[in-house]
């Protein structure tokens, strides 16, 4: 067996190096395809193996290889994501050990980050904060409309400067206006001689 041929031992070595390094370690450009081929070979051997003992061993080896391979990929994937974020923010991450498929991932992430950042910053700089229109002062409505509710119907005795009612609405009333007001507001205005109730 060639010393760099993919097997459990070589994959464990790659895994440990990747765990212990803050940046991507150097791997063969064909590593992922070789791992896939190796797992496929193990599965074929498992199908053709008649010994139950050897089947068990091959099955365990296949599962272990897959776990290690996934872990290697995820370790590298995390570093690629961090590198892309660093690059997207104007930094200079170490990317020399990326293989082609990883560079494609790296470039794709940067494109997404740049596009999203541009959209967000453009929107943030150009979008004017929408100010809700100031609530219009409450104007007296037709008497027929007001008779349909249970609030007191009142006639304004004298002009009243604009004010905020007990219902938190703005009022701008003039003498002889007729409107419906909340009971507590009617009592307040009535005590001041500003309105007169015209319904029971």
Q: pLDDT, tens digit, for every residue of 133-170?
A: 555 555 555 444 444 456 777 888 888 887 777 777 88
Residue 118: inside a domain, yes or no? yes
| Residue 193 Rama label (left phi>0; alpha psi -120 to 50; beta) | left
Distance, in Å, from the CA atom of 143 to the CA atom of 154, rounded to the nearest integer, reads: 10
Distance, in Å, from the CA atom of 177 to the CA atom of 156, rounded to the nearest integer, reads: 5
End-to-end CA distance of the chain: 104
Q: What is the mean pLDDT of residues 7-34?
A: 93
Q: How far is CA 126 from the centre of its chain?
A: 22
Q: What is the mean pLDDT of residues 102-118?
A: 90
Q: What is the pLDDT of residues 31-76, one digit of tens each?
A: 999 999 998 998 898 888 888 888 899 889 889 999 999 999 999 9
Residue 161: DSSP 8-state: E
Residue 113: inside a domain, yes or no? yes
Question: What pLDDT score does 143 carry?
Answer: 43
Average pLDDT score over the chain: 82
What is the count of structural domains for the chain?
A: 2
Distance, in Å, from the CA atom of 194 to the CA atom of 190, rounded to the nearest integer, reads: 6
Q: What is the mean pLDDT of residues 127-138?
A: 52
Domain boundary among 98, 126, 154: 126
Long-range contacts, stretch 94-103, CB < 8 angstroms, 24+ apart: 94/23, 94/24, 95/24, 97/23, 97/24, 97/25, 97/26, 97/27, 98/24, 99/27, 99/28, 99/29, 99/31, 99/32, 100/29, 101/32, 102/24, 102/76
Same domain, 169 and 85: no
Same domain, 110 and 41: yes
Helical ranges in 24-150 per DSSP H: 31-48, 52-88, 100-126, 143-146
Domain with residue 179: its CATH number is 3.40.5.50
Domain with residue 114: its CATH number is 1.20.58.1030
Q: What is the mean pLDDT of residues 166-190?
A: 81
Which domain does 179 fall in, by range? 143-197
Q: What is the mean pLDDT of residues 102-122?
A: 88
Residue 2: inside a domain, yes or no? no
Residue 3: inside a domain, yes or no? no
Q: Which residues contact 72 (CB under 8 A, 6 or more apart)?
A: 11, 14, 15, 18
């Amino acid at each position: 067996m060639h010393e760099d041929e993919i097997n459990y031992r070589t994959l464990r070595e790659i895994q440990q190096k990747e765990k212990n390094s803050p940046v991507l370690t150097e791997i063969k450009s064909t590593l992922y395809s070789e791992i896939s081929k190796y797992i496929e070979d193990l599965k074929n051997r498992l199908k053709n193996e008649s010994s139950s003992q050897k089947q068990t061993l091959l099955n365990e080896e296949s599962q272990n290889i897959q776990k290690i391979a996934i872990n290697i990929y995820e370790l590298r994937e995390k570093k690629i994501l961090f590198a892309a974020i660093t690059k997207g923010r104007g930094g200079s991450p170490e990317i020399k050990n990326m293989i082609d498929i990883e560079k494609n991932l790296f470039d794709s992430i940067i494109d997404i980050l740049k596009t999203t950042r541009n959209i967000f910053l453009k929107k943030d700089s150009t979008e004017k904060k929408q100010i809700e229109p100031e609530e219009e002062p409450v104007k007296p409505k037709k008497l027929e409309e007001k008779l349909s509710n249970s609030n007191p119907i009142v006639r304004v005795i004298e002009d009243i400067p604009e004010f905020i009612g007990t219902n938190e609405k703005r009022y701008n009333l003039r003498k002889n206006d007729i409107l419906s007001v909340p009971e507590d507001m009617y009592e307040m205005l009535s005590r001041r001689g500003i309105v007169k109730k015209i319904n029971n």
